[in-house]
Chains A and B, each alone.
Chain A
Amino acid sequence: MMQKLRRSPALMLGLAGLAFFVVLGIVAPFIWTDRAETLTDQTHLAASAEHWFGTDALGRDIFARTMVATRLTLLMCLATTAIAAVGGIGFGAAIWVGGPRVRALGQRVIDVLISYPSVIFALAMVAILGPGVGTSIVAIGLATCPAFARLTTNLAASIAGRDFVSTARLLGVPPSRLLRRHILPNIAEPLLVLLSVAFTVSLKALSGLSFLGVGVQAPDYDWGAVLHKGLEGIYLNPWPALGPSLVIILAGLSGGLIGDGLAAAVNPAAGRKRGYRAKVEALTSVPAYDAHDEDALAVADRLSVVLPDGTRLVDEVSFAIKPSEVLGLVGESGSGKSLTAMALAKLLPDDLTAVAGTLKVGDLDLNGRPPAGRLATEIGIVYQDPSASFNPTLKLGGQLTETLRKHGGASRAAAAEQAVGQLAAARVTLPEQRLKQYPYELSGGMRQRAMIASALLTSPKLLIADEPTTALDVTVQAEVLGLLREANERDGTAILLISHDVGVISAICDRVVVMYAGRIVETLPIERLRAGEAEHPYTHALLAATPTLHSPVDEPLSSIPGRPPHPAGRPAGCAFASRCPLARQQCHDELPVLTVTDTGATACHALHWDKEVLA
């Protein structure tokens, strides 16, 4: 597993520091013990070339004492960390194995122990056992145990909940192997991080005890004890305190860097190098066919969504939405359909940039900086997951009416009244009470109705619904789709509906745009989609792969071989060519452009082959 750890500069620096101190701990006592422990009459000397940190009350060289103390300090840290790790992981594993009741109780106990300040616990231990090396090690070791125990139970819980563990149990994998091959390798890295952190924490705590004079006792000495002595003469001579302070800081920093570095290396999301926003590039091609649709409500002309490294997740898509139209946007994961919608909503994630020839909704130019108020009220948005899209810490009322109050100038009471009306229209039960509830108090279906009501409150010109029913049950899905259609028919609200499900699109859309690998491959009226009369081979294949309640069941669904290309490796020609049964050499070389057909538009070379033959 170590080969996966990325080597960050922090980690390397920390490891180098640790290595330095380990070498110092090994060799220092051989070199400096004499100077460190021989009593001389050169007492209380200031720092000089002879005595870098000066001398103490008994004429011993403080630099030498600091160096020699390295070994004891490191050994104590090692022992403390070992106690904490063995005891903590053992305890954590034991309460995890002990069944649900033991686990609940054990976790409460850990919570209590972990919140008790370790210094105070250590002082109590000193009171019992008397100060000394052993007491310090046991006290700090025990005080750090709960942290390991908690991490172990949490990690074990998260891993044991994974399907591969329960499957291995069904396969009859013996417990020892389950632990060795399935659990431990998957929790080793966070425990390793904790180990390095525990080492740093014990250095701090052990030195702290000695510093207070209740840790290591003379004639033994560690860094904390040297600092304790140095503090006594601080007015006359700062170096006896400054020297050991610096050494403790350096050692602590090394440990901290290792911990940070390991944590970053273990967590794949952290430390990923990302630039911020791509440079806007010039548009190359000519405006697309329906970008100049005079009476279109919303227009996207050659819209691209670009990663900071220049990769186009959406590649020059053009489409228009007519007033009161329900336009469907269908595609599989990675087709760029949601990004297209979010670009039109001006809600792309921070590191993505939208580039377009024209991007507008009504007279709002989204390429510029449209006024916030109009943006908020004229484009309504319904999100995919109703349980995640409401703020869990705020009551529904405030969230539903926020746009009205902040941009519509409505008073709290007026906004609430409107919200109640809209909730009732969306058939949310008990609308007045809902405003005072938190989102988690509603079912998923109710939440999505509330989301739709919220989006419709400002009478938007365009409603963008991004997979609005994917998280819902099929009966609730039907009701929510009904609501959307109703809003369209009642108020004439235009809707852009994004879905991976051809069935959902067919249910309420007037026209559909099919996306594949970041590009539009076809637009067609819904009747043709319902009839299965698509022009593009991908649309055909998608329809054939979709099971329905009336398709023949005696033959297997046709699947599409291969996978869509990665956006960064999109071929020069048609992105579907490698999976397409009709593909010829032309398809691999030339990018097909979206060409108007009788009923829609299709980007496919095969369309022209027939015509060429005819001509």
Chain B
Amino acid sequence: METLIASPEAPPGPKAAAPKTAGSPWPRFLLGRLAGFAGVLVMLVVGTFLIVQLIPGDPAQVMAGPDASQAQVEQIRHEQGLDKPLLAQFGDYATGLLQGDLGSSYTSGIPVSEVIANRLPFTAQIAFLAVAIALVVSIPLGMAIAVACRGGRRRTLDTAFTSVTAVLGSIPEFVLATLLIMFFAIKLNMFPPSGAATLDSMVLPILALTIAPICTLARVVRRETATVLAMDYMRTAKGRRLKALRLYGRHALPNLMTSTLTLGGLVLTGLLGGAVIVEFVFQWPGLGTGVLDALVKRDYPVIQGVVLLLGILATLLNLLVDVVLGLLDPRSLRGKAGDA
């Protein structure tokens, strides 16, 4: 799985000696990133707008469903503004978005923004917890294994770690969720199989959502730690005869975080997709079940709204990763600021 997350390094182009600018690189970096964010936002808005436009045949007919009468189809066409020219439709859509108006669900009539406001907290809760848990578990785990097995020590532990993470990491979250429900909810009756009422109802969804990413991330961390430990500066640090905690915590950790986050950022955004699936299994009233529901009912405004929002969340998560990277290793600021 780690292979999919190929290193995102830019190719070594003919670089002129970087002019040594005094002062903080942050303003330039943030401006560049914000510009990039704006670009992605435009892409997302155009993309979600196109969802309706790209429906093969007559969008109004598809939205109305196969049993609708011609009058109903025409009514939907008018309501959704599908009878206007394309640019005018986009104009309406974009200005609506700027005013926070995402349209209304045409099955329930509730504004999409309200639908999202009701469901977002549930998804945010589960996604945030999952990201936090995945990082908190996988980084120490991967580091501990790498340190314990450095230079060919403890081969059995190494093999066990590799095998267990390979098996657990290859289980899709929906399969894991199903198995968890069967075992912990139905057989042992330890946790509720669905719903979002209590704290213990979160245990199984979080487990289902995080186990595979933890395995993938822990393997990435283990590999990156091994790379960092082989670096010259780690030998320099060893030469200062520091205590293990300082050696690995102060000298190795920031360096392996940079590479881990560059590679692992994708695993984290992937969690958002996993959340959709896990919500479905556990009947969790979040954005995922919302969008699935809307898909079945062909409730396009809701689909557009949720897809747009999840896209923004993924982009924000990426931005956050880049900022953390910049804090850890200021060199990364200069490299990325220019080409945004």
Q: Which residues of A contact B266 (CB under 8 A)?
A: 114-115
Query: B201 an interface residue at 8 Å Cβ cutoff?
Result: no
B175: which of A107, A213, A227, A256 is its contact (CB, 8 Å)?
Answer: A227
Q: Is the CB of B273 within 8 A of A120?
A: yes
Residues on A lying within 8 angstroms of B by beta carbon are 10, 100, 103-104, 107-108, 111-112, 114-120, 123-124, 126-131, 147, 150-151, 153-154, 156-158, 160-161, 190, 193-194, 197-198, 200-201, 204, 207-208, 211-214, 224, 227, 231, 234-235, 238, 241-242, 245, 248-249, 252-253, 255-257, 259-260, 263, 274-276, 308, 345, 347, 349-351, 372-373, 375-376, 381, 383-385, 388-394, 399, 402-403, 406-407, 438, 440-441
Q: Which residues of B contact A350 (CB under 8 A)?
A: 150-153
Q: Is the CB of B236 within 8 A of A406?
A: no
B328: which of A120, A235, A275, A393 is its contact (CB, 8 Å)?
Answer: A393
Q: Is the CB of A245 within 8 A of B175?
A: yes
Known: A154-B9, A201-B4, A245-B175. A124 touches B167 (CB 8 A): no
Alpha-carbon separation in the docked complex, A138 to B1 (Å): 21
Query: B330 an interface residue at 8 Å Cβ cutoff?
Result: yes
Q: How large is the interface on B (under 10, 10 to 19, 20 to 34, 35 or more residues)?
A: 35 or more
Q: Is the CB of B186 within 8 A of A200?
A: no
Q: Is the CB of B276 within 8 A of A119?
A: yes
Q: Nearest Cβ distance between residue A12 and chain B, in whole angstroms?
A: 14
Q: Which residues of A contact B87 (CB under 8 A)?
A: none
Q: Is the CB of B36 within 8 A of A107?
A: no
Q: Nearest Cβ distance between residue B226 and chain A, in whole angstroms?
A: 10
Q: Is the CB of B166 within 8 A of A385?
A: no
B172: which of A129, A160, A252, A391 is its contact (CB, 8 Å)?
Answer: A252
Q: Is the CB of B292 within 8 A of A214?
A: yes
Q: Which residues of A contact B239 (CB under 8 A)?
A: 345, 347, 376, 381
Q: Which of B1-35 contact A (CB under 8 A)?
A: 1, 3-13, 20
Q: Is the CB of A391 within 8 A of B11?
A: no
Q: C-beta contact mask, B181-202 vs A, less than 8 Å → 1, else 0?
A: 1100010000000000000000
Q: Nearest Cβ distance between residue A218 and chain B, in whole angstroms?
A: 14
Query: B204 an interface residue at 8 Å Cβ cutoff?
Result: no
Known: A235-B186, A241-B178. A123 touches B276 (CB 8 A): yes
Q: Which residues of A contact B95 (CB under 8 A)?
A: none
Q: Nearest Cβ distance between residue B265 and chain A, in whole angstroms?
A: 7
Q: Is the CB of A157 within 8 A of B11?
A: yes
A259: which of B3, B242, B265, B310 is its contact (CB, 8 Å)?
Answer: B3
Q: Is the CB of B166 within 8 A of A253?
A: yes
Known: A129-B56, A406-B246. A392 touches B233 (CB 8 A): yes
Q: Which residues of A contact B232 (CB under 8 A)?
A: 383-385, 388-389
Q: Which of B56-114 contact A (CB under 8 A)?
A: 56, 62
Q: Nearest Cβ distance between residue A97 and chain B, in whole angstroms?
A: 13
Alpha-carbon separation in the docked complex, A113 to B39 (Å): 12
Q: Is the CB of A406 within 8 A of B6?
A: no
Query: B272 an interface residue at 8 Å Cβ cutoff?
Result: yes
Q: Is the CB of B254 within 8 A of A252?
A: no
B166: which of A256, A376, A392 is its contact (CB, 8 Å)?
Answer: A256
B178: which of A108, A234, A381 is its contact (CB, 8 Å)?
Answer: A234
Q: Nearest Cβ distance between residue A300 and chain B, in whole angstroms?
A: 18
Q: Is the CB of A252 within 8 A of B277?
A: no
Pick the 7 closest A-B CB pairs, nearest first: A350-B151, A157-B11, A117-B273, A119-B273, A372-B241, A388-B232, A376-B241
A257 to chain B: closest residue by CB:
B166
Q: Is the CB of B43 within 8 A of A124?
A: no
Q: Nearest Cβ distance between residue A53 and chain B, in whole angstroms?
A: 13
Q: Is the CB of A120 within 8 A of B310?
A: yes
Q: Nearest Cβ distance between residue B126 and chain A, in whole angstroms?
A: 14
Known: A115-B265, A120-B273, A376-B239. A438 touches B331 (CB 8 A): yes
A113 to chain B: closest residue by CB:
B43
Known: A193-B3, A389-B235. A248 touches B172 (CB 8 A): yes
B223 to chain A: closest residue by CB:
A270
Q: Nearest Cβ distance between residue B290 and chain A, in whole angstroms?
A: 11
Q: Which of B325-339 contact A (CB under 8 A)?
A: 328-331, 339
B186 to chain A: closest residue by CB:
A235
Known: A115-B265, A345-B239, A393-B255. A123 touches B291 (CB 8 A): yes
Q: Is the CB of A117 within 8 A of B310?
A: yes
Q: Which residues of B contact A438 (CB under 8 A)?
A: 330-331
B251 to chain A: closest residue by CB:
A391
B299 to chain A: closest residue by CB:
A127
**Residue among B178, B186, B269, B292 having the largest count of chain A Cβ atoms under 10 Å:** B178
- 16 additional contacts (CB under 8 A) given A128-B54, A214-B292: A104-B10, A115-B269, A120-B273, A120-B310, A124-B303, A131-B295, A156-B11, A190-B6, A197-B4, A200-B1, A212-B292, A245-B178, A263-B3, A383-B232, A402-B242, A438-B331
Known: A204-B172, A238-B186, A393-B258. A107 touches B166 (CB 8 A): no
Alpha-carbon separation in the docked complex, A208 to B20 (Å): 50
Alpha-carbon separation in the docked complex, A576 to B37 (Å): 64
Q: C-beta contact mask, B290-333 vs A, less than 8 Å → 1, else 0?
A: 01100110001001000100110011011000000000111100
A-B contact pairs, 17 of them (CB 8 A): A115-B314, A117-B276, A119-B276, A123-B303, A123-B307, A131-B295, A201-B1, A208-B277, A242-B182, A249-B171, A256-B1, A256-B166, A347-B239, A350-B152, A351-B152, A383-B235, A385-B232
Alpha-carbon separation in the docked complex, A154 to B8 (Å): 7
Alpha-carbon separation in the docked complex, A256 to B153 (Å): 25
Query: B340 an interface residue at 8 Å Cβ cutoff?
Result: yes
Alpha-carbon separation in the docked complex, A403 to B276 (Å): 51
Q: Which residues of A contact B318 (CB under 8 A)?
A: 115
Q: Is the CB of A376 within 8 A of B240?
A: yes
B51: which of A128, A150, A390 is its contact (CB, 8 Å)?
Answer: A128
Query: B237 an interface residue at 8 Å Cβ cutoff?
Result: yes
Q: Nearest Cβ distance between residue B93 and chain A, in whole angstroms?
A: 15
Q: Nearest Cβ distance between residue B169 and chain A, in whole angstroms?
A: 7
Q: Is the CB of A194 within 8 A of B277?
A: no
Q: Is the CB of B295 within 8 A of A127?
A: yes
Q: Which residues of B contact A161 (CB under 8 A)?
A: 11-12
**Residue among B233, B242, B246, B276 having the largest count of chain A Cβ atoms under 10 Å:** B233
Query: B274 an interface residue at 8 Å Cβ cutoff?
Result: yes
B315: which of A115, A129, A190, A256 is its contact (CB, 8 Å)?
Answer: A115
Q: C-beta contact mask, B43-60 vs A, less than 8 Å → 1, else 0?
A: 100011001001110000
Q: Which residues of A contact B136 (CB under 8 A)?
A: none
Q: Is the CB of B9 within 8 A of A127?
A: no
B170: which of A234, A253, A373 is its contact (CB, 8 Å)?
Answer: A253
Known: A100-B13, A234-B178, A238-B182. A403 touches B8 (CB 8 A): no
Alpha-carbon separation in the docked complex, A249 to B166 (Å): 11
Q: Is the CB of A112 within 8 A of B277?
A: no
A152 to chain B: closest residue by CB:
B6
Q: Is the CB of A393 within 8 A of B254?
A: yes
**Residue among B20, B181, B182, B238 having the largest count of chain A Cβ atoms under 10 Å:** B182
Known: A112-B43, A241-B178, A263-B3. A347 touches B54 (CB 8 A): no
